[in-house]
């Protein structure tokens, strides 16, 4: 199939591009490089063994999107393109509404004009907010507590309405839990600009000497060791799920909303310990106050994805830490030369 990956130069889209190319699909990457780089696109080509078709454009640019879709018939779009920093979304909600919601509407319109009727959307466990119980199933109450999360929920709802209105439109909402790790080559990985918001890239930067210590946000949560518990999932397992979800849309001709996680909760201190073992580096940390908006414990019930897609996460926390470290130690400044 010819598949367009919007936001495909980024962390998760890039890993998905590699997996899709390995499965024999023709991949075209569309990205405005607002949170990625031309160098990352080059590296993706190195990993895949040949350069990717790349379109440097914004999904909100209707004319450019029409030109891109007109090149060759497209079988499906995977939509990774979004801003994703929760804190920033509270400061600049309009930027998030414009890019994430406006961008998605513009993309759906461009797909409609081009007659493309399959979509795989990067949603997030953030749509569950502070879940009433764990593991979280897909029918749990949806509730969001910040503008970023709202954009994910709204776009899921817009896609749902579109599926109801357009009989032949098929979509998969993939609710990612906490993606971490990197391709085993060490050539590509997560490259947060500035101070990392997320735990694993922060740990990586401490390990490589870019930051003195990790701040652990809260040691008094009602969890196994008082620190926050999450469902970390290896980005290569996640990437594989995208290929499987697209196969499902084609094979079953039905829409899909699934959790993508391992089903296992891991605390901050457990992840720090696993990373120290995998890297052989000490990770100095200090327990500080809770971060606004955080919750104690979130992990997935991933059984629906297993039932519908035949997919399950295969890589454990050791592999996540090993591969994150291989990437960061070989590229201490991410994609910078």
* Contacts to ligand NAD by CB under 6 A: 6-7, 9-13, 31-36, 58-60, 80-82, 84, 99, 103, 122, 124, 176, 178-179, 198
Query: In whole angstroms, how close is the CB of 323 to ligand NAD at the nearest point?
Result: 15
- Closer of 230 and 322 to ligand NAD (Cβ): 230
Query: In whole angstroms, how close is the CB of 125 to ligand NAD at the nearest point?
Result: 7
Applying CB under 6 A, the site for ligand WQD has a residue count of 18
Neighbours of 121 (CB within 10 A): 25
Per CB under 6 A, 89 contacts ligand WQD? no
- Closer of 45 and 129 to ligand WQD (Cβ): 129
Instruction: Judge whether 335 counts as a catalytic residue.
Output: no
Integer Cα distance of 215 and 287 in angstroms? 6
CA–chain centroid gap for 244, Å, is: 16
User: Which of 45, 67, 43 is closest to 55 using CA atoms?
Assistant: 67
- Closer of 126 and 257 to ligand WQD (Cβ): 126
Task: Select from ligand NAD, ligand WQD, none the partner in contact with residue 85, using the beta carbon and a kind-dependent cut-off of 5 to 8 Å.
Answer: none
User: Which of 24, 64, 27 is closest to 44 using CA atoms?
Assistant: 27
Per CB under 6 A, 291 contacts ligand WQD? yes
Contact 27, 15 (CB under 8 A): no
Per CB under 6 A, 131 contacts ligand WQD? no
Residues composing the chain:
337
Region 192-211 residues binding ligand WQD, contact defined as CB under 6 A: 197-199, 202
Give the tokens for residue 212.
């003195």
The residue sitting closest to ligand WQD, measured at its beta carbon, is 228
Report H helices in the chain: 11-22, 38-48, 62-71, 86-91, 93-96, 103-114, 147-165, 199-207, 235-252, 268-279, 303-309, 317-330
The catalytic residues are 148
Binding site for ligand WQD (CB under 6 A): 84, 86, 124, 126, 178, 197-199, 202, 214-217, 228, 230, 268, 291, 294
């Amino acid at each position: 199939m010819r598949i367009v990956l919007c936001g495909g130069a980024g962390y998760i889209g890039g890993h998905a591009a590699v997996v899709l190319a390995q499965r024999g699909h023709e991949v075209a990457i569309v990205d405005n490089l607002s949170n990625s780089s031309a160098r990352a696109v080059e590296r993706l080509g190195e990993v895949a063994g040949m350069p990717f078709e790349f379109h440097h454009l914004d999904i909100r640019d209707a004319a450019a999107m029409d030109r891109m879709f007109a090149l060759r018939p497209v079988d499906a779009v995977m939509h990774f393109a979004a801003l994703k920093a929760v804190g920033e979304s509270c400061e600049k909600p309009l930027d998030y509404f414009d890019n994430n919601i406006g961008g998605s509407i513009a993309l759906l319109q461009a797909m409609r004009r081009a007659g493309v009727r399959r979509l795989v959307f990067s949603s997030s466990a953030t749509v569950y907010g502070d879940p009433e119980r764990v593991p979280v199933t897909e029918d749990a109450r949806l509730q969001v507590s910040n503008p970023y999360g709202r954009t994910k929920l709204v776009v899921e709802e817009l896609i749902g309405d579109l599926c109801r209105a357009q009989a032949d439109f098929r979509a998969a909402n993939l609710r990612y839990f906490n993606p971490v790790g990197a391709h085993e080559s060490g050539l590509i990985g997560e490259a947060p600009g500035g101070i990392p918001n997320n735990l694993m890239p922060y740990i990586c930067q401490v390990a490589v000497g870019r930051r003195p210590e990790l701040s652990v946000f809260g040691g008094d949560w009602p969890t196994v060791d008082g620190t926050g518990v999450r469902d970390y999932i290896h980005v290569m397992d996640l990437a594989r799920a995208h290929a499987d979800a697209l196969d499902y849309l084609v094979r079953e001709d039905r829409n899909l909303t699934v959790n993508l996680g391992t089903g296992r909760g891991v605390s901050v201190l457990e992840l720090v310990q696993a990373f120290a073992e995998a890297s052989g580096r000490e990770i100095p940390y200090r327990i500080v106050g809770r971060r606004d908006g955080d919750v104690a414990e979130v992990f997935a019930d991933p059984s629906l994805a297993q039932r519908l897609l035949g997919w399950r996460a295969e890589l454990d926390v050791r592999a996540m830490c090993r591969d994150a470290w291989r990437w960061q130690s070989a590229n201490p400044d991410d994609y910078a030369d």
